[in-house]
Structure 1
Amino acid sequence: MSRLGAVSLLVRDYDEAIAFYVGKLGFDLAEDTDMGGGKRWVTVRPKGGETALLLAKATTPEQVARVGDQAGGRVWLFLETDDFARDHAAWTAAGVAFREEPRHEAYGVVAVFEDLYGNAWDLIQPAGDAA
């Protein structure tokens, strides 16, 4: 059996990224291990989720240039929820920037939001999931 364990996300600073993903989005801090030399192994994941985000501190000029633009401005990650209204309201109150109003599509309720660096995400409640 195979599974996607983690996806790396370039960040400027470990602690500011943890504050956003754990503090604003309510993700769990799965691991924060000091690797020495200023490097840490930091993973966060949505509550109840399996796949983690590996928060990778940008260290080269090329990496720094990609922080907030890992997908060239396109929506890059798709976060499914079982209660869109709950999460949208909580995140809006926490200061998360949504690029649009929620919309109903054939696949569910969706709105694009930005992480702390400007990467675009979809928050989606798939069609058929109870609100």
Structure 2
Amino acid sequence: MITKIATTAVYVDDQQKAKAFWTEKAGFDVFAEREMAPGSYWLEVGPKGAETALVIYPKSMMKNWAELKPSIVFVTDDIKGTYQTMKDNGVEFEGELNEMQWGTFATFKDDDGNSFLLKG
């Protein structure tokens, strides 16, 4: 029986720049960083203590990366605080917080233009 999602891949031009975005701006930890080829790494990041990680994968090693856009929702127990902290850290949001019947959310982008949803 499947018990969890282990990783989700995000395809980037520059792994080190993406690593800085996720660790310095989004506040994630590095779970794994192993060299796969010269200058390319298996790089996993995620929220402290999480069982699921993002794999920050180099576009150069994935020929069809353009067709493989991520669709990832990050959940927080303090949407207003997390939104403000990320915004203060330089994360680009596509608008303000939106309140819906099912919760409050905002969409943000990483430095490679990938969009993600933050939900509270």
TM range (shorter): 0.7 to 0.9
Deviation at 1:48, TM superposition (A): 2.8
Q: Deviations along 1:63-106, whole A, 9 cap, x unmatched?
A: 46x29x815xxxx2110001111111111111111111111111
- Alignment partner of 1:81 is 2:82: no
Query: What is the alpha-carbon root mean square deviation over aligned residues?
Result: 2.0
Deviation at 1:62, TM superposition (A): 4.2
Give TM-score, length-normalised by structure 1: 0.81
Residue 60 of structure 2 corresponds to which residue in structure 1?
A: 59
Aligned counterparts of 1:43 and 1:62: Cα–Cα separation in 2 = 20
Distance 1:61 1:121, change over 3 A: closer
Give TM-score, length-normalised by structure 2: 0.88
Residue 28 of structure 2 corresponds to which residue in structure 1?
A: 27
SS at match of 1:90: helix
Aligned counterparts of 1:118 and 1:14: Cα–Cα separation in 2 = 14
For residue 94 of structure 2, the aligned residue among 70, 94, 99 is 99
Note the residue ranges of structure 1 that are not aligned, 5 or more in a row: 126-131
Equivalent residues of 1:10, 1:63 under 8 A apart: no
Aligned counterparts of 2:18 and 2:58: Cα–Cα separation in 1 = 10
Moved over 4 A (4+): 60-64
Note the residue ranges of structure 2 that are not aligned, 5 or more in a row: none
Once the two structures are aligned, what percentage of the paired residues are identical? 29
Distance 1:51 1:60, change over 3 A: closer
Aligned counterparts of 2:19 and 2:61: Cα–Cα separation in 1 = 21
